[in-house]
Amino acid sequence: MTQAAVEQLGMTARRYQQQRMAHWDRVAEAFPADTLGGRFYHRELVHYYRLLIPPGLRVLELGCGQGDLLAALQPAVGVGIDFSATMIKQAAERHPQLRFMHADAHGVAFNETFDAIVLSDLVNDLWDVQVALEHLARAAGPQTRLVLNMYSRVWQAPLSVAQRMGWRKPTMAQNWLTQEDIVNLLSLTGFEVVQQSRETLLPLYLPLLSTLANRGLVKLWPFSWFALTNFIVARPAAQPSRTKDGKAPVVSVVVPARNEAGNIEGILARTPEMGGGTEFVFVEGHSKDETYAAIERAIAAHPERRCTLLRQTGKGKGDAVRLGFAHARGEVLMILDADLTVLPENLPRFYEALVSGRGEFINGVRLVYPMEAQAMRFFNLLGNKFFSLAFTWLLGQSVKDTLCGTKVLWKREYDLIAANRSYFGDFDPFGDFDLLFGAARLSLKIVDLPIRYHERTYGETNINRWRHGWLLLRMVIFAARRVKFT
C-alpha cells in the first residue's frame, strides 16, 4: 500500500470516528440519562452481566456511555471509557464513585490490568474491531475475563424499523458481526472463547410474556436463533502459570477417606511429587473401619511426605473437600478419592494441564476409555452420561463427567468460588456440582482430562445410586433455575 493510500485510509477512519463522536454527543444531550439507563433492554443487559461478573472485581468498560451498566456491576474498582465527551461528563456526574476517561477504544493507553473487561453493544460501532481488541489486551492479565455482547444480524431489519418509529435511540450504520466473526477476531488478538450464549428474545416489557420469552424460550431451540443479543466470554490465550516469585507452585492433594483403610498406604507410596512440592491433606469421615489409624500409620511410615490429618465433623464428601481445601497450603488444589479408582500416577497430567494454562478447572473424565468390568455399575454409567449432557447444556462448556472425583484448580480460583457459594447454596453432599457451578459462575475455562477408571481393590462405594441419583437430579433442576432459566 502506498503512503498516499495509507494517509487516505487514516483520514477515512478519523472521519468515521468524528462523525460517531458527534452523533453520540447529540444523543446524550437529546435523551435524559434516566431514559437511556432505564429502558427494559438495558435492564436485561444488567441482569445477564451480573450473572457473568460477580461484584467486588476490578472492572473496565469500553463504550461505557453514561456508566449505568458499570455501576450496576458493583466493582471494587470501576473504570469507564467512552469517546463521547458528553457521555463521559454525564457518567461522572451520575456515578462519582467510578473513574471515567474520554478516549477512543482504538488507541487508549492502559497502565493497569482488570479482572473483567466489558464491551456492551460496542463492536457494532467500531471502525476496526481487531485494533480495539489488540489495545485492550494490554489491560488483561492471565485471569481477566472479556465479556461482550452485540446485536444478532437476525434483528437488523426489526431494529431499523424500531429506530424509524422512534422506539429506540438513533444509531449510525452498524457492523453486523456474527458470533463466528467475533470468535475469529478474538483468536487473532490473543483471546480464546470460554462460553457463548444467546439472550433476550423479547426486548420490550410485556407482563409475564417477557419473562417467559427471555428466561425460558430463548434458552431452547429453535427460539434461541431469534435472540436479539449474542454474549461471548473470553480469556487471554493459554500462558504457563507460576507463583509470584517465579517458582513452581506447591500442590495440595486433598484425600477424603471414609472406610478406605486398605487404600491409604498406596496413596502415599504411589503419588508422584509435583511442582514445587506435594502435600497431602487427609480428611477422615466417620469410618466404620480403621481408616484413621491406617492414615496415621502411613504418615509415620513416610516421613518424607508432607501430610496433614483431619477428622471430619460434618457429613458428605463435599464437606470433607471444603475442610481439606481450607487447611491446604499449596497454590494448586487437587482432589484424589481414596478408593484409588483413579490412579494417583495420573495426577501429574492434571498438574501440567493447569499450570500450562490450557485450563483453569481440570475435570477428570472416566467415560472415554473402556472401564474394567466392575469399575462402574450399568445404571451408574447411565446416570453419569445423563448428568454430563445436562451440565454441558447448563454451563455452556463441555463437561463429559460430572462425578469423577479428581478435580484440580488454583487455590486463588477456589477462594473466589467459596466467596460466591451463597449464589447456589450449600447443599451438595458430593462437592463436584458445587465446584462445577462455581467454576462456570466465574467463567473459568473447564477442561476435561480423560483417564482410565479402575475397579476397587478394597471396600465398597459410599454412593447410593437411587437416593443420591434423585438428589443429583434435584440439584440439576435447581441449577437450571439459577444458571439457565434466570
- DSSP letter string, 428-476: -SSSHHHHHHHHHHTT--EEEEE------SSS-----HHHHHHHHHHHH
Could you list the beta-strand ranges (E) of 175-277: 191-199, 229-236, 251-257
> Is residue 432 predicted with pLDDT exceeding 90?
no
Minimum mean pLDDT range among 118-122, 185-189, 313-317, 374-378: 374-378
Which range among 13-27, 336-350, 409-423 has the greatest average pLDDT? 336-350
Question: Each residue of 78-108: pLDDT tens digit?
Answer: 999 998 899 999 999 999 999 999 998 888 8
Mean pLDDT of the chain, nearest integer: 84
Q: Specify the pLDDT at position 380.
A: 59
> 36 pLDDT exceeds 90?
no
Worst-scoring range by mean pLDDT, 219-233, 321-335, 383-397? 383-397
Q: 270 to each of 267, 336, 342, 358, 436, how far by Cα in Å? A: 6, 12, 12, 26, 28
Q: Which amino acid is at 354?
A: L
pTM: 0.80
CATH of domain 3-236: 3.40.50.150
Report pLDDT for 175. Answer: 79
3-state DSSP assignment of residue 60: strand
- Looking at residues 310-330, what average pLDDT do you find? 93
Mean pLDDT of 223-241: 89
244, pLDDT greater than 90: no
Beta-carbon contacts of 35 under 8 Å, excluding residues fewer than 6 positions away, are: none
Helix (H, G, I), strand (E, B) or coil at 300: helix
What are the sequence ranges of the domains in the chain? Answer: 3-236, 251-484
pLDDT in tens, 137-178: 899 998 899 999 999 888 888 888 877 777 777 777 777 888
pLDDT (average), residues 454-471: 62
Residue 464: per-residue pLDDT? 54
Closest-CA residue to 81 (of 58, 94, 65): 65
What does the pLDDT read at residue 264?
A: 94
In CATH, the number for domain 251-484 is: 3.90.550.10
CA dihedral of residues 14, 20, 25, 30 (deg, nearest 10)? 160
- The reported pLDDT for the residue numbered 419 is 85
Is the pLDDT reported for residue 1 higher than 50? no
**Partners of residue 82 on adjacent β-strands:** 102
Higher pLDDT, 330 or 437: 330
Tens of pLDDT, residue by residue over 189-220, are 999 999 999 999 998 888 999 989 998 898 88
260: helix, strand or coil: coil
pLDDT-derived band at 5 (thresholds 50, 70, 90) equals very low
